Structure 1
């Protein structure tokens, strides 16, 4: 069960070290400290489908146990921010006015679905889920490949 929480391989020269659970999380923090995003108000990514949208953010957390409750609580017209999208997230995607993901390329699920549904979409932003919080008012300019918090 600890491996579901986190699993890490570290290759250093010819040595391989593996860790899982809390020790994997601790080792990752030592090797790659978290960045401070407290003053960051904008992300850049690749545009999967163009458009300009202003709306309130809904951050979807894949690690949460209340998956269906999150989808039910997402307001119609919200900007969906997620690490990535998958087919099981389609009920939320259909409610979204825009999609912003940390991961993904032009053939990712978010990219394909956004083109099909004609929803402005930014993919591969890396840190959107760390910068944007549920309720933030953002402008997603998928024409330019940026999303920013409105001040």
Structure 2
């Protein structure tokens, strides 16, 4: 299940998984061997999440995944933790990079890239 896609300004669009708006630096995490890289306040960008990823939600300020929807693990846990989430953003782990400043708008299912370019 994918939403689409990219806006004209380079911002990314997905599905709202959890409401709220947060700005911060990106941290791309591709698998469990990278869990230790996430720092408090960073925005977690991942291909997907499952229960083993749950502890990261206590550290992240927001979550973006490439797959999933409103009933996916990532969306449900983000709502439980009260952090914004945008799901089903194709290519997020490739189009966003560590340290890049973005705004996650979980109300609209948008990822706004500072400077407007991914």
Question: TM-score, length-normalised on structure 1?
Answer: 0.67
Deviation at 1:115, TM superposition (A): 1.1
* Structure 2 match to 1:45: 14
- Kindly report structure 1 stretches of 4+ aligned residues shifted beyond 4 Å: none
Which of 58, 71, 95 is matched with 1:94 structurally?
Answer: 58
RMSD: 1.6
Stretches of structure 2 that go unaligned for 5 or more consecutive residues are 1-5
Residue 109 (structure 2) pairs with residue 140 (structure 1): no
Residue 19 (structure 2) pairs with residue 55 (structure 1): no
8 Å Cα contact 1:43-1:127 kept in structure 2: no
Residue 89 (structure 2) pairs with residue 125 (structure 1): yes
Question: TM-score, length-normalised on structure 2?
Answer: 0.84
8 Å Cα contact 2:57-2:81 kept in structure 1: no
Q: Rg larger in 1 or in 2? A: 1
| SS of match in other structure, 1:61 | coil
CA distances 1:76-103 after superposition (whole Å, capped 9, x unpaired): 0100000101111122221000000000
Greater length-normalized contact order (CA 8 Å, ≥ 6 residues apart) = 2
Aligned residues: 108
Deviation at 1:148, TM superposition (A): 2.0
